[in-house]
């Protein structure tokens, strides 16, 4: 068996090589070494025997990344065009530095992420969308503490709590938080946030990642969460949720369908409640 290395991009043979992952750790298994994997563009964390992994050709990896970049650029360009059409931004082109109307600005975001690479991508996207955002990288198990500390220091309109998650192997009870890799931390982080700011209009919360325990996260107080059908979500979906809220006027409600329609994943991966915007 070919030796696997941390950092290598791989796919899983047992799943039809459908998702590209990066190996983030290799540890002993019962019969052979197991790799801890994180999706390249999906907020999924998984384990796999090293023998189940396949290294795609470099050309295939390049094409995969190119498709991601094209989709990302298309989505951002569409949002910027919509902002211009509504008069939310001023400027002649996407490359120019935009200035805000003096009387209004989009909501501010605190984005806490378990994946540093995804966090950097999200922060770049917030910047392109002219949304003021603070980004913090940390381990999912530390999210409740981080949320509490940050919300006590500064006020934000929108809180994004995301990273990696998945249904654990051999756990078919989807109504038990113990069946999920990280959902417990998302639930606890949302609860901590609601201890400080109970009002769902004063602080809008998105929480979750791939296959997360949607019902428990919403019950904890999130406005939006993943994943109703326990499907994968895209790395940038939290940003697109935050963007919709940030640019909706404070006196207006944005329907869940309108928010979800602006994501890459759609209604199978994201749900929530009608929520007032933060633009103003």
* 32 and 145 co-located in one domain: no
**pLDDT at residue number 111:** 99
Number of domains in the chain: 2
* 166 and 45 co-located in one domain: no
Tell me which residue range forms the domain holding 40: 9-56
* 198 and 99 co-located in one domain: yes
Whether the full predicted model's pTM is greater than 0.75, yes or no, is yes
* 222 and 164 co-located in one domain: yes
* 93 and 223 co-located in one domain: yes
* 45 and 100 co-located in one domain: no
* 89 and 47 co-located in one domain: no
- pLDDT tens per residue across span 187-198: 999 999 999 999
**pLDDT at residue number 100:** 45
* 50 and 81 co-located in one domain: no
Mean pLDDT of all residues in 23-40? 90
Mean pLDDT of all residues in 207-227? 98
* CA 228 to centroid of chain Cα atoms: 15
Q: Among candidates 241, 238, 251, which has minimal Cα distance to 277?
A: 251
Provide φ and ψ at 235, rounded to 5°.
-60, -30
**pLDDT at residue number 269:** 96
- Strand residue runs (E) in the chain: 9-12, 21-27, 34-39, 45-49, 53-54, 109-113, 133-137, 158-162, 204-207, 224-225, 253-254, 271-272, 275-276
* 82 and 184 co-located in one domain: yes
What percent of the chain clears pLDDT 70, i.e. is strictly above it?
92
Exposed/middle/buried for residue 32 (C-beta within 10 Å: 0-12, 13-18, 19+): exposed
| Position 66 in a domain | no
Provide φ and ψ at 109, rounded to 5°.
-125, 135
Q: Hey, is 66 helix, strand or coil? A: helix
| Position 125 in a domain | yes
Provide φ and ψ at 210, rounded to 5°.
-65, 130
CATH of the domain at 87: 3.40.50.2300
* 81 and 121 co-located in one domain: yes
Whether residue 30 has pLDDT greater than 50:
yes
Whether residue 163 has pLDDT greater than 80:
yes
* 141 and 226 co-located in one domain: yes
| Position 62 in a domain | no
* 39 and 152 co-located in one domain: no
Least-confidence region, from 70-79, 157-166, 176-185: 70-79
Give the mean pLDDT of the chain. 90
b/e code 80-109 from CB counts within 10 Å (16+ = b): beebbeeebbeeeeeeeebeeeeeebbbbb
Mean pLDDT of all residues in 116-137? 95
**pLDDT at residue number 180:** 96
Full DSSP string of 173-196: -TT-GGGBSSHHHHHHHHHHHHHH
Mean pLDDT of all residues in 19-31? 90
Q: Among candidates 267, 276, 165, which has minimal Cα distance to 216?
A: 165
Provide φ and ψ at 37, rounded to 5°.
-120, 145
Whether residue 234 has pLDDT greater than 70:
yes
- pLDDT tens per residue across span 65-117: 888 788 878 888 888 887 766 666 545 444 444 444 546 799 999 999 999 99
Q: Please give the residue that has the higher pLDDT: either 264 or 200.
A: 200
Q: In the structure, how many helices (H) and strands (E) does the chain have?
A: 7, 13
| Position 49 in a domain | yes
């Amino acid at each position: 068996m070919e030796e696997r290395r941390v950092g290598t991009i791989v796919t899983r043979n047992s799943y039809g090589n459908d998702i590209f992952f990066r190996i983030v750790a290799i540890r002993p298994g019962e019969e052979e070494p197991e790799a801890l994997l994180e999706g390249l563009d999906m907020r999924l964390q998984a384990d796999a025997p090293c023998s189940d992994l396949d290294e795609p050709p470099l050309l295939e990896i390049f094409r995969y990344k190119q498709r991601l970049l094209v989709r990302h650029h298309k989505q951002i360009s569409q949002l910027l065009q919509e902002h211009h059409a509504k008069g939310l931004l001023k400027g002649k082109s996407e490359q120019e530095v935009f200035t805000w109307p003096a009387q209004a600005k989009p909501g501010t975001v605190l984005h806490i992420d378990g994946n540093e690479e995804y966090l950097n991508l999200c922060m770049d996207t917030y910047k392109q969308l002219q949304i003021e955002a603070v980004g913090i990288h940390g381990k999912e198990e530390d999210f409740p503490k981080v949320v509490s500390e940050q919300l006590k220091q500064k006020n934000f309109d929108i809180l994004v709590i995301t990273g990696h998650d998945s249904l654990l192997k051999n756990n078919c009870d989807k109504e038990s938080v113990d069946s999920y890799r990280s959902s417990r931390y998302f639930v606890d982080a949302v609860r901590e946030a609601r201890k400080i700011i109970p009002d769902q209009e004063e602080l809008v919360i998105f929480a979750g990642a791939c296959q997360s325990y949607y019902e428990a996260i919403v019950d904890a107080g999130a406005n939006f969460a993943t994943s109703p059908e326990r499907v994968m979500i895209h790395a940038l979906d939290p940003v697109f949720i935050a963007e919709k809220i940030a640019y909706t006027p404070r006196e207006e409600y944005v329907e869940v369908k309108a928010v979800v329609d602006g994501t890459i994943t759609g209604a199978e991966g994201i749900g929530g409640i009608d929520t007032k915007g933060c633009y103003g």
